[in-house]
Amino acid sequence: MVSLFEHFRKIVLLGSLLFSLTIGAGCQGSFAMVQSNDSCAIMKRYSENKILLDEGNLLIEKKEYLQAIELFDRGIASIGQSYSIEGVEDDTEMKFGLSNIEKSKGSFEISANLKSSVFSARLQEFLNGRKCKS
């Protein structure tokens, strides 16, 4: 028997996939990317990380904080510094450092929530920095 949580997880993951397909439909239109000739690769990278973010947030709901932290760390590493936009102030580095301090103190719930916030903000900036400015 499939749990209610598993149904919810599948709905969230399907929603993320549909969102990604909608944005990247044909890799053209108003969401055409400007910093790369390979906009499909950018959307694929965004989609993969969005799924990690959603899965991590579901793990937080299940109180599986260490697993969530691991997913967020993978996603944050995947994006690297490519999220940053010239002229936009970035406060995520401070939150990222604080989340590592909280983790070392054993405050896994706080650490997971901070990393979720960092990952979410960086992922959004990653996408925003690649949209056409028209």
The dihedral built from the CA positions of residue 68, 82, 122 and 5, taken in this order, carries a sign that is negative
Which pair of tokens denotes residue 99? Answer: 């989340």
pLDDT in tens, the chain (134 residues): 556 666 555 665 555 555 554 444 444 443 444 444 467 777 888 889 999 999 999 999 999 999 999 999 999 998 887 666 666 667 788 999 999 999 999 999 999 999 999 999 999 888 877 654 44
Q: What is the pLDDT of residue 90?
A: 75
Say how many Å lie between the first and final Cα of the chain, rounded: 50
Residues ≥6 apart with Cβ < 8 Å to 73: 115
Residue pair 102/110 in contact (Cβ under 8 Å)? The answer is yes
CA 73 to chain centre: 10
Domain residue spans of the chain = 4-128
The token duo for 73 is 């760390």
Report the candidate in 18, 39, 126, 12 with the shortest Cα–Cα distance to residue 78. Answer: 126
Cβ-based neighbour number of residue 46 at 10 Å: 20
What is the pLDDT at residue 70?
A: 97
The model carries a pTM of 0.68
